[in-house]
Amino acid sequence: MKNKLITIEGIEGVGKTTAVKVIQDYLIQQQREFILTREPGGTEMAEQIRKILLTPHAEKITPEAELLLMFACRAQHIENIVIPALQADKWVICDRFVDASYAYQGGGRQIDMAKIQMLDQWIAGTIQPDLTFLLDASPEIGLARAKNRGTHDRIEQEKLDFFERVRHVYLKRAEKFPERFCVIDATQTLEKVQHELTMKLDELFASTHYAH
Amino acid sequence: MKNKLITIEGIEGVGKTTAVKVIQDYLIQQQREFILTREPGGTEMAEQIRKILLTPHAEKITPEAELLLMFACRAQHIENIVIPALQADKWVICDRFVDASYAYQGGGRQIDMAKIQMLDQWIAGTIQPDLTFLLDASPEIGLARAKNRGTHDRIEQEKLDFFERVRHVYLKRAEKFPERFCVIDATQTLEKVQHELTMKLDELFASTHYAH
């Protein structure tokens, strides 16, 4: 398949939304059909679970329940949205994907990585990103930016050390999978971030050999 | 611990609600403190997910998502309801528990039993029922009775062969764990069912050696 699955990862406040927009504009310019989606969510049911996951509750949500809910959403999303889009020759841009479970539930919540890997292999299987942009910044910078957005969801309310663990796992995964990860310093100017995103997309397109 | 976890299992229409009431009345008579709960559900959040699970959706729910949602609910329920109740010396009566995942998602949806066992060991761990009443009847009889109740939830709308597989797994688990399963023929008269429930509870109490 010449169409690709591109994912955008990073902690709160690193500019994922802007990056998604840059990628979207790039694909429009290249006249590629694509869908824009997100995790947790992307289907009606997964969005309902997203709401439960991100709303602050009086009830303590266990790390295990959080992880299983993420992968339940993912099963729905992959089966009903991602696979049909890829089969219809569309590109898929996804705001957070499996790497986020390693980072947030593995790093942040400190769940055994082997459990996450087992769920990854079972639920995502061969559906792995072709390209993953990791927007990287320290939690101090990210959270300060996110603060300006106002209210925080349940996970965004976590403390600094939580996000330090999340960032650490993200960076370790980027090291482990250099062939698909592109780490971008999110503290640069918007123009520089846009430039790096575009350069990488140019590279991806050059290697994709579209028949024109 | 002298208090116990009692679970009630069976397909639709076998009279679980009545059995729960008999057990409840028995514990009241014995002046035992207990809680009455159910799966999927039992906590505010798990009940929200129960609603998503049982409401018919336009979107196809994958077997994997269904299983993961069941175990996410279970993680919440065990951590926030079952363990605190057992620690407070209360008995726990639970309308469906882990066996239901083997029967419905393993038998009915035909998910690999090893996956379910892995989730069982991870999420339920040592929290296993002391006594499980399996109310048994053929799906023809169960579904005919359930029909009289009116509307059906998403899982109750499944076909006969689905419930035959569910029943088969329930009976196989009863064979595998004879020390905790008590299979009751649900096609008997209500009086006979009540009598068998009470006999088994007498036996459990006799073996529990309460200090009075």
Q: What is the torsional sign of CA A149, A155, A159, A165?
A: negative
Q: Check if A115 contacts B (Cβ < 8 Å).
A: yes
Residue among A54, A64, A82 with most chain B CBs within 10 A, to mutate: A64
Q: With CB atoms and an 8 Å threshold, state whether A64 touches B44.
A: no
- Residues in chain B with CB shorter than 8 Å from the CB of A118 are 118
CA distance A201 to chain B (A): 33
Q: List all residues of chain A from 4 to 63 with a beta carbon under 8 Å from chain B.
A: 43-45, 48-49, 52, 57-62
Q: Give me the residue from B49, B59, B64 closest to A44, CB to CB.
A: B59
Q: Check if A121 contacts B (Cβ < 8 Å).
A: no
Other beta carbons within 10 Å of A210: 10
Q: How confident is the model at residue A1 (pLDDT cuts 50, 70, 90)?
A: very low
% of residues, chain A, pLDDT over 90: 86
A143 token code pair? 């959270």
- Residues in chain A with CB shorter than 8 Å from the CB of B71 are 68
Q: How confident is the model at residue B37 (pLDDT cuts 50, 70, 90)?
A: very high
Q: Do residues B16 and B197 touch, judged by C-beta distance below 8 A? A: no
Residue B73 has pLDDT above 50, yes or no: yes
Which of B31, B28, B32, B26 minimizes the C-alpha distance to B8?
B26
Q: Do residues B105 and B74 touch, judged by C-beta distance below 8 A? A: no
Alpha-helix residue ranges (DSSP H) falling in A16-147: 16-29, 44-54, 63-77, 83-87, 98-100, 113-119, 139-147
pLDDT digit string, tens, across residues A193-211: 999 999 999 999 998 765 5
Cβ-based contacts under 8 A for chains A and B:
79
**Secondary structure (3-state) at A4:** coil
Beta-bridge partner residues of B64: none
Q: Check if A80 contacts B (Cβ < 8 Å).
A: yes
pLDDT digit string, tens, across residues B168-181: 999 999 999 999 99
Residue A123 has pLDDT above 60, yes or no: yes
Q: Which residue has the tokens 């009692």?
A: B6
Residue A185 has pLDDT above 80, yes or no: yes
Q: List all residues of chain A from 132 to 161 with a beta carbon under 8 Å from chain B.
A: none
Q: With CB atoms and an 8 Å threshold, state whether B115 touches A123.
A: no
Give the whole-angstrom CA distance, residue A2 versus residue A184.
24
Give the pLDDT score at A209.
65
Q: Check if A114 contacts B (Cβ < 8 Å).
A: no
| Average pLDDT of chain B, as a whole number | 94
Q: Which of A88-97, A155-164, B137-146 has the highest mean pLDDT?
A: A88-97
Q: With CB atoms and an 8 Å threshold, state whether B76 touches A59.
A: yes
Give the pLDDT score at B209.
65
| Average pLDDT of chain A, as a whole number | 94
- For A67-83, b/e burial (b = at least 16 CB within 10 A) is bbbbbbbbbbbbbbbbe
Q: With CB atoms and an 8 Å threshold, state whether A123 touches B72.
A: no
Give the whole-angstrom CA distance, residue A87 versus residue B131.
49
Q: Give me the residue from B57, B72, B122 closest to A72, CB to CB.
A: B72
Give the whole-angstrom CA distance, residue B115 versus residue B120.
9
CA distance A58 to chain B (A): 9
Give the pLDDT score at B210.
58
Which of B70, B14, B119, B19 minimizes the C-alpha distance to B6?
B19
Give the whole-angstrom CA distance, residue A91 versus residue A85.
7
If you average pLDDT over residues B3-28, what whole number do you get?
96
Q: Give me the residue from B45, B122, B123 closest to A52, CB to CB.
A: B45
Q: Give me the residue from B49, B59, B60 closest to A52, CB to CB.
A: B49
Give the whole-angstrom CA distance, residue A76 versus residue A59.
25
pLDDT digit string, tens, across residues A48-101: 999 999 998 889 999 999 999 999 999 999 999 999 999 999 999 999 999 999
% of residues, chain A, pLDDT over 70: 98
Q: Which residue has the tokens 């709401």?
A: A51
pLDDT digit string, tens, across residues A24-54: 999 999 999 999 999 999 999 999 999 999 9
Residue B212 has pLDDT above 80, yes or no: no
Say which residues have a Cβ less than 8 Å from residue B84's Cβ, sequence separation at least 6.
none
φ, ψ (nearest 5 deg) of residue A55: -75, 135
Say which residues have a Cβ less than 8 Å from residue A86's Cβ, sequence separation at least 6.
A1, A3, A5, A92, A127
Give the pLDDT score at A210.
57
Q: Check if A75 contacts B (Cβ < 8 Å).
A: yes
Tally: H helices and E strands in chain B: 9, 5
Q: Which residue has the tokens 């020759």?
A: A89
Give the pLDDT score at A158.
87
Quote ipTM for the complex. Answer: 0.94
H or E stretch including B93? strand B91-95
Annotation: CATH topology of B5-211: Rossmann fold (3.40.50)
Q: With CB atoms and an 8 Å threshold, state whether B44 touches A61.
A: no
Q: With CB atoms and an 8 Å threshold, state whether A59 touches B43.
A: yes
If you average pLDDT over residues A118-128, what whole number do you get?
98
- Does the pTM exceed 0.90? yes
pLDDT digit string, tens, across residues B83-132: 999 999 999 999 999 999 999 999 999 999 999 999 999 999 999 999 99
Long-range contacts at A18-25 (CB < 8 A, ≥ 24 apart): A18/A190, A18/A193, A19/A133, A19/A135, A19/A184, A19/A193, A19/A197, A20/A93, A20/A95, A22/A193, A22/A194, A22/A197, A22/A198, A23/A93, A23/A133, A23/A197, A23/A201, A24/A93
- Domain residue ranges in chain B: 5-211
Displacement of CA B145 from its chain's centroid (Å):
18
Give the whole-angstrom CA distance, residue A70 versus residue B51.
17
Q: Reduce the secondary structure of B163-209 to three states and give it as a string.
A: HHHHHHHHHHHHHHCCCCEEEEECCCCHHHHHHHHHHHHHHHHHHHC
% of residues, chain B, pLDDT over 90: 86
Give the whole-angstrom CA distance, residue A65 versus residue A159.
20
DSSP state of B61: P
Q: Which amino acid is at A65?
A: A
